[in-house]
Structures are given as structure tokens and as C-alpha cells.
Amino acid sequence: MNVTNRLLPNQQQIAALGEPGPGGPIHMVNLLKFKDEAEYEDGRETNLSGREAYQLYGVGVVKLLAAVGGSIQFLGDVTYLTLGEVDELWDEVAIASYPSRAAMLEMMMMPEMLEISVHRSAGLAGQLNIETVVPT
């Protein structure tokens, strides 16, 4: 299994996100890898770590999630790999719940999301997002 962290979805993933998706709630598992130091694309000076920059994004995301009926279900630091092998562990795991894939897309298109996303890209080295649903 080859695993590659990314900051943005590829074209195939973007196209799939436009599909209706599962009926009902989805839960996005986010495996996050932070930069040691935040790097803003506009070149601004900062003393923030990557984690600190991402936390600024996270504060905004919590508000936007609530606006579409979603919430953060879990947030925790990765401390140890107990099974399997990877070259490098992620730093944090977050699970966000949305009433539907459409609600997630609605949130992603909000103007406020664009504003806070500068902190996301400044802080993240990459991530994996995994859409999950509760089995019926």
C-alpha cells in the first residue's frame, strides 16, 4: 500500500465529491501531518508552528461545521503505531461529522472557508481524508 499525503484532492476525487454520495450522515477521518514551521503563501512573517497555524483554521472550521449541522466528533494526537508500518506517522487525527456529503460541500464553498484556508495550507504538510459512514 502506497500512502501519499496531499493538501488538495486530485481531479478524480473532486469529480467523486460532486456525486450524491451515501444517503445520510458522513464522518470524515482526517489524518493530519503538520509542517514544523508555518509557511504562508503570501510570504507573511510568522513565528507560528504548523500545528498552531492549523489550529487557527480549526477554530474557524468548528463554526462553519455548526452552520451546516456538523461537528467535530474526535480530535487527538497520534502517539504510537501499534500495528502496521508507515514511513512517518501523522501528527493528529480529527473526525468531523456532517449531515450529508452535500453539507460538507456547502461548507467547503463558503466564503469564510476561503478566508481561513490560508492557515490550513500554512500549517499542513499534508493529510489524508477518509469518508466513512455508520453501517446499516
DSSP 62-129: HHHHHHTT-EEEEEEE-----SS--SS--SEEEEEEES-HHHHHHHHTSHHHHHHHHHHHHHEEEEEE
How do residues 26-82 score in pLDDT, each as one tens digit?
Answer: 999 999 999 999 999 999 999 999 999 999 999 999 999 999 999 999 999 999 999
Q: What is the arithmetic mean of pLDDT over 20-28?
A: 89
Across 17-22, average pLDDT: 78
| CA–CA distance, 122 with 96 (Å, rounded to integer) | 21
Q: Please report the pLDDT score of residue 82 as a whole number.
A: 92
Domains of the chain in start order, with CATH, are 11-132 (3.30.70.100)
CA distance 86 to 106: 34
Q: pTM score, two decimals?
A: 0.89
What is the pLDDT at residue 15? 81
